Structures are given as C-alpha cells and as structure tokens.
DNA sequence: AGGAGTTTTGGTAGAATTTACTACAATGAC
DNA sequence: GTCATTGTAGTAAATTCTACCAAAACTCCT
C-alpha cells in the first residue's frame, strides 16, 4: 500500500483554491509539427518560466467553463476537442501555499485539448501571451507542469488510437494522406505503413468518399473524404490504429 | 463547443472544500458476485440515502492520502489497487453550497479501488458503517454518486482489459479457472470462452506454473499459477483479453 | 473396484486479420 | 512522350481469433 500519511486525525478541513491548467495540443499539418501552447509567467512564483495556460476557478463557474475560458483568452478557435485529464493536489505542489498564513491549498484540475492549427489565431494582446512550442523541444516549466504535460501527451496518443478526435480538428474534407500525416506526427512513424493504414481505415467504413479530388503538386490527385459520425457510432472503443 | 458560461468576468475567485469519494469494488470469487462498498448517510443532505464512502480533505493531506484514509476507516484490507477517477465540480452539485452564505463550493475528486474480498473485514464500529452491495442491485445514491459509480464501473472494465489489476487482489497462487471466473463476474460471459482465454493468457507468458496442483471436488486437479511481474513488464498496454 | 460424471488441459480446422510487399494509375515537370 | 511523384488496389504469407473437440486426471457413486 505504500507509505501514506494516516496520522492527521486532528487536522482541520482544508480550504482550497482550485486552478485549471490546460494541456493544449495542435498539429501543424503543413510542417508535420506537434505543438503545445505555453505562456511565459510575469509574476512570482516561477517568474519568466513557461507554464501551461491556467486560471483560478471563479464563483459560479464550472471546471469545464474555466477550461474554455482560458482557451478563449489565449486563442481564437472554433474546432477543438477538450476533456478532463487529472487532478493534482499534494500539499506543497504550489509554492504559494507556504506563503499563505492561513494554510490554504492549491489544487490543479488539468484539462487536455486538441485544437485545429490552421485557422486558429493566437491572441496577442493581454498579459501573459501564449505561444506555440514544439513538444519535442519544450522547456522546463513552472510548478509541476512538466508532469502534467507528460500525462497529457500520453492521453493524446491514447485518444488518437481509440477515438476519432482527429476529425474534430482536421478540415471538413481531407485526403487519406492528410490523415496519415496527422497520425504520424503525433504517434511517430512506427505504427503502420501508409498502404495498410489506408486499407484499415477504409475497411472500418466511417470515411465516405466525397467524389472530389485534389492535386497538390506532382502526382496523382487524391480523393477527398469526409468523416461520417453516424457510421462511426457502431464501433465505439474499437482501436482505429495499432501503435 | 457547446454553451459555456463565458460571462463571469467580474466574479471573485471561489473558495472550495474538496471531498474525496471512493468507488470501491470487490469480487466475491466464491459466489461470483461483483460488489460495491456503500455507506448509509445519517445526516442531511440525503439522510438515509446510501452514498459512496467519502471524506473532506484535511490540511496537510494529499488527495490520495484522503482516499486511503476513507478505505482504512471502513475496511481492513491489505491487497488492493487504487487510482484517481475523475473530478466533479459543477456549481450546485452539492446542496450544501446553497445553504452556505459565503458561497463556498464543494469539489469531489473520485478514486477507484479494487480490493481483495476474501480476507477483507468491514469495520463495524463507527458511524456510518459500510456494507457491500451487489453492483447489479445498487440503490439510488446521494448527491451525483450514481454517475460516479457508473464512471467507476467503466474504468474497472477497461482496467481489467488492459492492466493486470486482477493479480493485485487474487491470491498469490491461483488456477486459470479462478482467473476466468474473476473476469466473467466483472465483464459478463461474452468476451471469450474458457479454452481460448486459457490459451491467450498462457501465450502472453506472464503466468508461471508453480508445479503445485489443487483439487476442489470432482474433476482433474488444476495447476496453480503465479503472476510474474517482470515478465509482464514488456507488454505494457497490450490488451489481455477482448471484450 | 469400476464406471459415470466432472473439470482441466491441449489441441485443431477454418475464418479473419495483420504485415510486408508489389503492381498499377494518374498526374506534373521537362 | 518520358520520367519522377503521388495515389490506389491488391496479394501472399504469417499470425491471430473463434468455435469446437478429445484426451487426461481426478472424485463420486454403487
């Protein structure tokens, strides 16, 4: 069972402030880059460190509302997927707890988001501003945010394997190669070759050919497909690809 | 994106009390029953309703510590698996919020636990006491606990499919039939037949034959196996069975 | 003791899927 | 037209899944 503190019998009930921190991913399909949204802190603690975009939950606001509020303060985006990730709350995880004479605690409920990169605009006014970072080249973050980021990346890979979240952020119509590039930039190139990826996805039967074709430079034009939500419904929780 | 409340610009930061609620499962392998631990509430709100065992987090106590504290107040158990489930925090989810003139919020961080049934003892002193309920026959619970319970059951099934949590609560040595019965009482009987279940588990290679045999009534004696953690390590996240 | 019943164990044939690879089609560039 | 490039279709071999079957090793009953 491990070493757990079971001795705090006479401790009072703790008072908490609750923060929401967002792990916001985006896939730049032009350059095959997996990006993460970070903000640079201006104030202590961890001044000048990068951190995940976060906020404290306000009165009357749900956790998910707070998560959407952070998003809308940093970026303009219409197409996204968002879900709760994990709640971090050990005593001492936030240095502000030590400075608070009332012994108040800080809890972090983290959310995971995947947003469309192409028609998303960073909001440049406001303070601090948010910037995209390469996930592979992300810096040491404030608080325990590196841990939250790692947790979020695991969730992203898992979700991509089992859920159709890619279609929330891909354009309305897309080629099978677009889809393959999306998967490879997130998962790495060792999960399937293109030909077998095509065959598998098409056999699953939730991609409908629009009849349209698109030519991008040299080579045969590619068919444009559309995600059919209704056709997907029947295969809930079946893996889409194998890593 | 749905309808989210983005208008609370001038709201103050909320103050929270944080509760931990445990979804505690147990498998009675003698009678093939899937059980859930519930307590009967003595006080308002929801007096005389059953609820998940829960507590408020104390000063200096981590969330996981609180989860273990609840467990140790209700049952004596040495063999268990525990992990965080989900955090519920919409305004108004706890009726106490309305009675509180300071507008304090109540957050519930839920934990999921699977405990060994056989050598677990319910603690009968204390108030309220905890009792095992059949999951299939669980009553209407206090607060939003039915939702948390459903969420926990989904997690249990998922974990059983992908993680070796069964071996945390099975005896040190067990027969393949023991294991099969465990899986069928949790997942239902439609995931695999016994012969194929055996073949699959043995081929995965993390069950080592102890050489011992056990005879339970009529029939050929069964070989006793042991879970080999080291041999399992290589196949992290591969499915163990198919539902 | 011996046969009947029961449970464990180790298969196998056929279907289905995965994997690695090849051939062909349709286009732009020259 | 020819070639490089990208998209598409397919196949053969290996592997896995599924639905069974039969022998082995015991207990129980008469």
Contact B91, A62 (CB under 8 A): yes
> Could you tell me the domains of chain A?
15-162 (3.90.79.10), 170-233 (1.10.10.10)
Distance from CA of B107 to the nearest CA of A (A): 9
Q: What angle do CA B200, B206, B208 make, to 5 degrees?
A: 105
**What residues of B are in contact with residue A56 (Cβ under 8 Å)?**
13-14
Q: Which nucleotides of C are covered by protein (CB under 7 A)?
A: 5-12, 18-22, 25-29
The distance (Å) linking the CA of A184 with the C1' of C20 is: 19
The distance (Å) linking the CA of A217 with the C1' of D29 is: 84
The distance (Å) linking the CA of A177 with the C1' of D9 is: 16
For residue A106, with 0-12 CB atoms within 10 Å meaning exposed, 13-18 middle and 19 or more buried, which class applies? buried
Nucleotide nearest to B242 (CA to C1'): D17
**What residues of A are in contact with residue B58 (Cβ under 8 Å)?**
8, 11-14
Nearest chain A residue to B85, by CA = A86
Which tens digits make up the pLDDT trace of A2-59? 455 554 457 899 999 999 999 999 999 889 999 999 999 998 889 999 999 999 999 9
Mean pLDDT across chain A, nearest whole number?
Answer: 90
What pLDDT score does A192 carry?
A: 86
What pLDDT score does B101 carry?
A: 56
pLDDT < 70 stretches in chain A: 1-9, 99-102
**What residues of A are in contact with residue B16 (Cβ under 8 Å)?**
15-18, 57, 107
Contact B99, B9 (CB under 8 A): no
Distance in angstroms (rounded) separating the CA atoms of residues A106 and A161: 33
**What residues of B are in contact with residue A3 (Cβ under 8 Å)?**
none
User: Is residue A232 helix, strand or coil?
Assistant: helix
Helix then strand then coil, % of chain A, to nearest 5: 30, 30, 40
What pLDDT score does A100 carry?
A: 56
Cis, peptide link before residue B128, omega less than 30° from 0: yes
pTM above 0.75, yes or no: yes
What pLDDT score does A241 carry?
A: 85
Which tens digits make up the pLDDT trace of B119-164? 899 998 877 789 999 999 999 999 999 999 999 999 999 999 999 9
User: Is residue B132 helix, strand or coil?
Assistant: strand
Q: Per-residue pLDDT for chain B (243 aa), expressed as one digit of tens each?
A: 445 555 445 789 999 999 999 999 999 988 999 999 999 999 888 999 999 999 999 999 999 999 999 999 999 999 999 999 999 999 988 888 776 556 789 999 999 999 999 889 999 887 778 999 999 999 999 999 999 999 999 999 999 999 999 999 999 999 999 999 999 999 987 778 999 999 999 999 999 999 999 999 899 999 999 999 999 988 877 888 877
Distance from CA of A67 to the nearest CA of B (A): 10
């Amino acid at each position: 069972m491990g070493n757990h503190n079971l001795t705090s019998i006479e401790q009072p009930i703790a008072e908490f402030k609750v923060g929401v921190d967002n792990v916001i991913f985006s896939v730049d399909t032009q350059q095959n880059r997996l990006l993460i949204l970070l903000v640079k802190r201006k104030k202590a603690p961890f001044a000048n460190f990068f951190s995940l975009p976060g906020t404290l939950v306000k009165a009357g606001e749900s956790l998910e509302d707070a998560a959407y509020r952070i998003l809308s303060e940093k970026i303009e985006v219409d197409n996204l997927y968002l879900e709760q990730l994990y709640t971090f709350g050990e005593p001492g995880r936030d240095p502000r707890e030590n400075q608070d004479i009332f012994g108040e605690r800080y809890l972090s409920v983290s959310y995971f988001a995947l947003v469309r990169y192409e028609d998303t605009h960073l909001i440049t006014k406001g303070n601090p501003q948010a910037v995209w970072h390469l996930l592979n080249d992300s810096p040491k973050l404030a608080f325990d945010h590196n841990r939250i980021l790692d947790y979020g990346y695991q969730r992203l890979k898992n979700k991509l394997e089992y859920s159709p979240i890619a279609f929330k952020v891909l354009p309305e119509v897309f080629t099978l190669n677009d889809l393959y590039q999306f998967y490879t930039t997130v998962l790495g190139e060792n999960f399937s070759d293109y030909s077998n990826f095509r065959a598998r996805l098409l056999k699953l039967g939730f991609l409908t050919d629009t009849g349209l074709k698109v030519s991008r430079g040299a080579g045969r034009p590619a068919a444009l497909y559309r995600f059919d939500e209704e056709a997907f419904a029947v295969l809930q929780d079946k893996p889409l690809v194998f890593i």
